């Protein structure tokens, strides 16, 4: 009895210990951070749990999964880039106080991972060159497959595909990529799409995509994805990849260290950044917890300025216009130069989550200017490495509802969530219904599609049915006729594959009803399928094409929509439509010419991205040149003079002659003569090194060691290759100077 009592006492103590609700949690100061009035900023996770986080996503239980890239820029040479020290980790808040207190590693020993997405009940993630998908069992990876073996073949993290975002149309899109992905019946599909952005991608409630690049803080498509690229022999210019605002102004709270700070117009008289130089990760806020004026605002990370910007969108029906929400201020600013917002996410609780890499150097070593290297050394930013934070922006007084566990929800509960105010919840419910093959939800989804009280929910229901292969011509035509303009646009896109099975009478009746709406959005998407209708019945639908062509002859995006749907017969159509729209006729002629020559839109020819020039140049410099000139271009005593600030580097053609043919005898750099009694051999004798390789080395060297980054064209390098020195061996300094005077 005594031992039995001891056993129960021990069990009770163990149970009480496991119920402990207090955990040691890191605390960080947010002093110096300022967020827009009416909001509060708090931290969710920080070091030591995090080191250089670059992206997050939420699983079906609402837990945060994070990609960490600690090998990136630990020093100015990027020495740890190839080390397998990256990971994907699960962050847990066991005491439910909103702060992460535990982590578990899902995948480790990764080399520079950069993106992840919870899709199809598993995890999609990238570790160049591969894009992987793995199922999840007890928080462990199982049954991993390669989705794309050339997802990101070469390059550096600034110029490799990333983002991995499931859109409303059930396709997964990326930034810095012209491919999209989807899994159907266990089989992965990859197809071409418009090339978009550099780092980060987002979508609005309609399904349009938003992205950006370093110097343009907000780009986007005016139309739904792939609407304008179905004709492989036509390349749109007006409807996709557009700058949505000319305003690139930024308003940091303090002077920050930026790469091209010496260049005119980058900094003001107080050394404060004027325009974006490293914009990334736009996010369309769809959380539903902020007040209505923030719905579908686009927030943009400006890590070089330690801030987050807010843009307000206006939708015209056939275009999107953005305007900065403020002048002389930003949504979120910090005087902490370690604050490096590199990604934004809508959260299950309606908050906006900020992934803060919290690193001194965020520019890749291939791009660092001499100016920045000096500033980094003075400010010791290269010592700021073992940090990382995830912050959360909430509305003041925001009450967070408990995060739902999607794994425990019924089909009807999931359908109901398609009406939720939070876009993250709607998106996840749609995905869950599809990958779980919830066919018992079809009837409820059809009812929701025809419930015109909630147009956003209708769009989700429509694409859930598409994912379940449960659409029909009758349903789509009914929705197209009765829906609002945006719902009608989606129905028009989705009905295209069903047009051939319908009678001409039905198609004609549908088109007549759509034209009667007299709506620019409806007309735009109707224009996009006119090519398909024309191919079915020329006599019935040529007059409709003529009518739309004439009505919108001054809107180039309509020309692109009409041409995009045409597959053949461009020549005949161009003659018929020239009286109503000369520009459209010319576009059709161009399409026909390219079809005959098999000259496709580049997105259909490109198989993967090639390495950017400065990165490949940096690799060759380290392999061939750094052993004598030093990795920092400072030169090595007794071996080679410095390149940093050298007048011979600033003169690009002279630099090309030296790299190609070599150098002998003394040379003067910045007033100092170097007589090393050594001849530098030229690369011309190495048949494996091409003119492009020489151009890439020049691109890197002029960027890294001068204030005038430049590049030589390949034909100029070929000319220099054939410009021999008098000796037939290496150039002398005097010969180089004489060449420069020509």
What lies within 8 Å, CB to CB, of 207 at 6+ separation is 167, 168, 169, 224, 225, 459, 490
**Could you tell me the pLDDT band of residue 365, with boundaries at 50, 70 and 90?**
confident
**Could you tell me the pLDDT band of residue 4, with boundaries at 50, 70 and 90?**
very low
CATH architecture group of domain 26-395: 6 Propeller (2.120)
177-184: strand order across its sheet: 162-166, 172-175, 177-184, 187-196
48: preceding bond cis by omega (within 30 degrees): yes
**pLDDT above 70: percentage of residues in the chain:** 96
Q: What pLDDT, in 10s, does the model give residues 433-477?
A: 999 999 999 999 999 999 988 999 999 999 999 999 999 999 999
**Could you tell me the pLDDT band of residue 688, with boundaries at 50, 70 and 90?**
confident
Q: What is the mean pLDDT of residues 580-588?
A: 90
In the chain, ranges of CATH 2.120.10.30 domains: 26-395
In the chain, ranges of CATH 1.25.10 domains: 411-599
CATH no. of 411-599: 1.25.10
- DSSP code for 637: T
In the chain, ranges of CATH 1.10.760.10 domains: 613-741
Q: What pLDDT, in 10s, does the model give residues 170-213?
A: 999 999 999 999 999 999 999 999 999 999 999 999 999 999 99
* Of 225, 361, 210, the residue nearest 299 (C-alpha): 210
Q: What is the mean pLDDT of residues 485-512?
A: 96
pLDDT, position 154: 63
209-213: strand order across its sheet: 202-203, 209-213, 216-220, 242-243
**Average pLDDT across the chain, whole number:** 90
Q: In 3-state terms, what secondary structure has residue 328?
A: coil
Residue 65: phi and psi, rounded to 5, are -110, 135
Q: What angle do helix axes 582-597 and 570-577 make, rounded to 10 degrees?
A: 170
Class of domain 613-741: mainly alpha
């Amino acid at each position: 009895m005594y031992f039995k009592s001891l056993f129960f006492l021990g069990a009770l103590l163990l149970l009480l210990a496991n119920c402990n609700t207090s955990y040691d949690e890191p605390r960080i100061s947010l002093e110096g951070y300022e967020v827009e009035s009416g909001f509060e900023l708090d931290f969710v996770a920080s070091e030591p749990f995090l080191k250089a986080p670059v992206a997050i996503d939420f699983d079906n239980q609402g837990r945060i999964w994070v990609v960490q890239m600690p090998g990136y820029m630990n020093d100015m040479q990027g020495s740890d880039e190839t080390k397998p020290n990256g990971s994907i980790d699960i962050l847990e808040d066991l005491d439910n106080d909103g702060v992460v207190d535990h982590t578990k590693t899902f995948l480790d020993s990764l080399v520079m991972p950069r993106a992840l997405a919870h899709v199809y009940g598993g995890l999609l993630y990238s570790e160049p060159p591969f894009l992987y998908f793995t199922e999840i069992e007890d928080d462990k990876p199982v049954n991993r497959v390669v989705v794309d073996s050339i997802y990101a073949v070469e390059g550096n993290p600034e110029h490799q595909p990333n983002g991995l975002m499931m859109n409303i149309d059930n396709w997964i899109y990326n930034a810095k990529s012209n491919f999209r992905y989807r899994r159907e019946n266990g089989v992965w599909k990859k197809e071409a799409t418009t090339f978009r952005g550099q780092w980060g991608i987002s979508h609005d409630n309609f399904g349009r995509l938003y992205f950006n690049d370093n110097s343009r803080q907000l780009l986007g498509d005016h139309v739904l994805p792939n609407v304008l690229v179905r004709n492989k022999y036509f390349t749109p210019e007006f409807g996709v990849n557009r700058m949505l605002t000319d305003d690139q102004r930024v308003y940091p709270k303090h002077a920050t260290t930026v790469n091209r700070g010496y260049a005119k117009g980058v900094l003001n008289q107080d050394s404060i950044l004027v325009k974006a130089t490293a914009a990334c990760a736009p996010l369309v806020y769809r959380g539903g917890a902020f007040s209505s004026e923030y719905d579908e605002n686009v927030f943009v990370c400006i890590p070089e300025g330690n801030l987050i910007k807010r843009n307000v969108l206006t939708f015209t029906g056939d275009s999107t216009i953005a305007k900065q929400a403020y002048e002389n201020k930003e949504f979120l600013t910090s005087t902490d130069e370690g604050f490096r917002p590199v990604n934004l996410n809508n959260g299950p609780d309606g908050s906006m989550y900020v992934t803060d890499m919290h690193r001194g150097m965020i520019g890749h070593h291939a791009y660092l200017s001499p100016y920045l290297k000096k500033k980094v050394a003075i400010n010791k930013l290269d010592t700021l490495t073992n940090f990382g934070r995830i912050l959360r922006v909430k509305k003041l007084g925001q009450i967070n509802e408990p995060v739902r566990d999607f794994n425990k929800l019924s089909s009807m509960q999931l359908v109901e969530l398609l009406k939720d105010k939070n876009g993250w919840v709607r998106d996840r419910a749609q995905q869950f219904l599809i990958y779980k093959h919830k066919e018992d939800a079809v009837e409820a989804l059809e009812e929701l599609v025809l419930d015109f009280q909630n147009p956003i929910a209708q769009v989700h229901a429509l694409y859930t049915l598409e994912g379940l292969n449960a659409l029909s011509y009758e349903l789509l035509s009914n929705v197209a006729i009765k829906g609002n303009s945006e719902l009608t646009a989606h129905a028009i896109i989705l009905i295209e594959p069903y047009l051939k099975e319908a009678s001409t009478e039905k198609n004609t009746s549908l088109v007549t009803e759509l034209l009667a709406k007299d709506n620019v959005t409806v007309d735009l998407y109707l224009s996009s399928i006119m090519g398909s209708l024309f191919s079915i019945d020329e006599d019935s639908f040529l007059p409709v094409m003529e009518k739309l062509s004439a009505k919108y002859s001054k809107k180039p995006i309509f020309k692109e929509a009409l041409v995009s749907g045409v597959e053949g017969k461009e020549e005949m159509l161009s003659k018929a439509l020239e009286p109503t729209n000369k520009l459209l006729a010319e576009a059709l002629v161009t399409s026909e010419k390219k079809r005959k020559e098999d000259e496709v839109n580049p997105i259909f020819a490109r198989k993967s991205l090639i390495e950017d020039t400065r990165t490949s140049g940096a690799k060759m410099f380290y392999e061939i040149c750094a052993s004598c000139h030093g990795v920092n271009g400072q030169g090595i005593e007794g071996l080679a003079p410095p390149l940093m600030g050298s007048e011979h580097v600033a003169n690009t053609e002279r630099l090309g002659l030296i790299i190609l043919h070599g150098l002998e005898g003394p040379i003067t750099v910045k007033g100092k003569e170097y007589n090393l009694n050594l001849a530098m051999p030229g690369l011309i004798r190495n048949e494996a090194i091409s003119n492009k390789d020489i151009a890439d080395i020049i691109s890197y060297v002029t960027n890294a060691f001068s204030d005038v980054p430049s590049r030589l064209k390949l034909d100029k390098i070929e000319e220099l290759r054939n410009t021999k020195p008098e000796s037939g061996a290496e150039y002398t300094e005097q010969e180089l100077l004489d060449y420069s005077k020509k």
